[in-house]
Structure 1
Amino acid sequence: MSIPTRALGSLQVSAQGLGCMGMSQGYGPGDAEESVATLHRALELGVTFLDTANVYGDGANEELLSGFLKGRRDQVVLATKFGIAGRGPNGPAVRGDAAYVRESIEASLRRLGVDHVDLYYQHRVDPDTPIEETVGAMAELVAEGKVRHLGLSEAGADTIRRAHAVHPIAAVQSEWSLWTRGIEAEVLPTCRELGIGVVPFSPLGRGFLTGRLTATEIGDGDIRAAMPRFAAENFDRNRAIVTALEELAAARGVTAGQLALAWVQAQGPDVVPIPGTKRRAYLAENAAAATIELSESDIAAIEAAAPADAFIGDRYAPGMMRAVGK
């Protein structure tokens, strides 16, 4: 399999990346051996864009990647993030002050065992720190060679404009899939106007769009248990929409997940989804979606089967929702 490349601003990456969060937190117990094997397989398949963050597993995810990166640093495009500094009473505690930016990159480089990262995101925008201060501090890291390109995650259109005026922003990472399409109104047009790439996380709806997930699988240690879309009163209604997607996929000889992921890939050459997995089997399935070509009629049929306004329930609980789109 040969996965093509795409551009995030001036940064060239594989057309599909790998979200590494689930290897260390969020979706039940991890398996370090299988996770590392998945990273090796990603490289073999041409998925060379790896995404982590300082907060994933409280640093454990960056440490997991460090062993894999030894002797392979020049074969991958490495992205990490800073900004979520713990839990507050009403959602994540977010910091973007200059001192925290520098403190965070030094800690991430140490855990990753590298001297630079290719893409450094602010994970959430700090409402109490001007974005100009945050991006100004990030720009200093570029000048020092510790960071190659800058990104924002879950930022609003106005913040993106202000940030880009301080230093070019290569990528904006936001949740985007058939069941989460909020960025299409303002964020996506702003990114395209400014030449910023878009990196959709959870392009498979945190596994829901694959059709394989059952309500009983969401147990202790699974972040989906706190997400309204996965609540019992919403699960079955949302699952019915995925059934329609499965029928379309079967006619194409692919899985529902592959069709949903191909839809994201088809949204433009500036879009690089990062489906997350900690298992080689799912990685291969996801990677294959990068080569599925959809016609305009295919896309129309997919969107008719899974309309944007059909899914019910917010994607986060209220506290987490307050931290997005700033």
Structure 2
Amino acid sequence: MTMADDDDDFLFQDEEEDEDAHEGDELVPGMPPWQVLIVDDDAEVHAMTRLVMRKFAFQGRGLAFISAYSAAEALTVLRGEHDIAMILLDVVMESEDAGLKLVPRIRDELGNRAVRIILRTGQPGQAPEDDVIAGYDVNDYKAKTELTARKLITATITALRAYHHIRTLERSCQGLERVAGLGLFQVALSGPSAAAGAALDQIAEVLEQPAEGLFCVIHGTDRLAARILAGRGRYQDAAGHPLATVADAGALATLLRRPGELRHEFTDGAMTLVWPLTAPAQRPLPMAGLDDGGATAILHLHLVRPLDEIGRRLALLMMMRIADALVTAWALEQAREPG
């Protein structure tokens, strides 16, 4: 279907006015763009949409457009692309209801409930808005004659915000499921070092980061004398050595400004988690070979990309479970010792 010339005017009539509509959102270098799929059999619609949205940014991210010129082509794209945030979908293409028929295939056949779908039609009377909204799982319905640049920007912000919330909830649930499934307590049977190594591997896996870091335990106030239980990557050979032997040990030590005070730290390139190790009776855990007293676990992991809020919360939740597993490992180790 070809968009009428007067429809073109509606897309552009307030374009200059809308230059400030997203002025506050600036692109952040390195941030991946939002993926937007344009499904329309009119090449001019694709070109105009890209032009109108060329300076758009939301949450520091621009837009990356993917074009499909039929419902069948769109379905093929969606089978291969799993991070499309929004679809601008024409109703009339290879058939009068091709766009409408595509919606249940996206939702039911592909199981994609997250992507936001905005229907656009040049013939709104052919598919009345009330009927479409009630009968199809779409998020907005616009006549092309009313979809000005300002309205397109507003609809896009609404769609992307909703998509972000849905993905955030999904990631949170998936992360919690993975944390709940961790087998750290089984590994604890092999001793503290094995538990610490497993902790590094599993926290890196859940956070989708490379396993490069170290796990150590501080006893008392002599921080640099803390022993490293396990290391990965550049710290692979550090296990069993004091923290003072690690090049960036000073940076790690500053995280504990006073004994017993927690100091988590998240930067773009690393995270450091600090957690007290206490026995079930809330008594400081005595560790084999050391005088009785409080102990603190430190996990330091290098990051290839910064963690978002969900990633940080998952990391802290995992660290709590790791600390419990480590206490169990030491208790089992001491129980095996004669006398």
TM beyond 0.5:
no
Q: Which structure has the higher relative contact order (CA within 8 Å, separation 6+)?
A: 1
Max Rg structure: 2
- TM-score (norm: length of structure 1): 0.22
- TM-score (norm: length of structure 2): 0.21
